[in-house]
Amino acid sequence: MAVNREERRTFEKISSLYDRARISYPTQLIDDIVTYSGIRLNGRILDVGCGTGQVTHLLAQRGYHVTGLDVGKEMIDVAKEKCSAFPKVSFKVGTFEDATFSDASLDIITSGMAWHWINPERREEKAYRILRSGGTLALFWSYQRKEESDFVKAVGNVLDKYGGANRGPAGSKVRQISDTLYKKLKGSQSFNSVEMREYNEDFEFSKKRYVDLIVSYGWVQVLSEEKRRNLVDDLQKLYKRYEEPLIIPYKYVLVLAKKS
């Protein structure tokens, strides 16, 4: 997917909305990254596109040295607050493309819902350079399993009207991104032991939080104010047919690879 710079910049403006709307990641997914990597407790992790610290926080709780990197300063401000109890965690504001890290210095690079925002011409090459030999690249995404939820299907029909066909939260683009990356890494000499793992988890949403979630998507942020208001009105109409809490079935896809 080509990076839409206008959409990418929207995260900076909505850090608190993002933080209250977006979901976290399954414990099993984080455990699997740790086990697959064989990282020791003094190991170093870089969390690329850390946003408001969803992944950074889960790794910090396990006691590792983690650096959260994000281009959005306001996202980092929220992440810093969230991780303030963990002295081994630090943050950098900047792009992955331009940030400086020593060669072969990292045990794991994680990126949740963010790798597709990084320049595809440079990202795997840079990850290869800064990972230690045998270091782990762990890239993951989530999307809603619309085939298992009438509500998510109905939301998809609403979003289609606003140019959101195949976009979040039930968008097939996420699936496409992870499948393409898996194939690319499989075919690369620079990485080995490439695996793809999947996890299912259901989340409860209030109607308010679900609207926030939709509004937190980059492509919704760049709609005109009028269109965004209409979209929210359409969701409110749809809500009349559903009870709270909304039960949303999620799929997580994790792509793992080791530096050769």
Ligand X SMILES: C[S@@+](CC[C@H](N)C(=O)[O-])C[C@H]1O[C@@H](n2cnc3c(N)ncnc32)[C@H](O)[C@@H]1O
Least Å distance, CB 25 to ligand X, is 7
Q: Could you give the CA distance from residue 179 to residue 214 in angstroms, rounded to a whole number?
A: 24
3-state secondary structure at position 253: strand
- Strands of 28-130 (E only): list them: 44-48, 65-70, 89-93, 106-112
Nearer to ligand X by Cβ, of 98 and 243: the residue is 98
Least Å distance, CB 80 to ligand X, is 13
Q: What angle do CA 191, 93, 84 make, to 5 degrees?
A: 100
Q: Could you give the CA distance from residue 205 to residue 190 in angstroms, rounded to a whole number?
A: 41
Closest CA to 133 of 35, 30, 37: 37
Least Å distance, CB 161 to ligand X, is 23
Least Å distance, CB 94 to ligand X, is 7
Chain centre distance of CA 46: 14
Residues that bind ligand X (CB under 6 A): 8, 11, 22, 48-51, 54-55, 69-72, 75, 95-97, 112-114, 117-118
C-beta of residue 102 within 8 angstroms of C-beta of residue 72: no
**Tokens standing for 136?**
């782990």
Nearer to ligand X by Cβ, of 154 and 196: the residue is 196
Q: Could you give the CA distance from residue 82 to residue 100 in angstroms, rounded to a whole number?
A: 24
Q: Could you give the CA distance from residue 207 to residue 215 in angstroms, rounded to a whole number?
A: 13
Angle between helices 73-82 and 5-13 (to 10 degrees): 40
Least Å distance, CB 231 to ligand X, is 19
Nearer to ligand X by Cβ, of 97 and 204: the residue is 97
Chain centre distance of CA 156: 20
Nearer to ligand X by Cβ, of 1 and 236: the residue is 1
Nearer to ligand X by Cβ, of 7 and 234: the residue is 7
Nearer to ligand X by Cβ, of 55 and 89: the residue is 55
Least Å distance, CB 237 to ligand X, is 27
Q: What is the dihedral of CA 91, 135, 54, 224, to 10 degrees?
A: 80
Nearer to ligand X by Cβ, of 48 and 235: the residue is 48
Least Å distance, CB 32 to ligand X, is 16
Closest residue to ligand X using C-beta atoms: 51
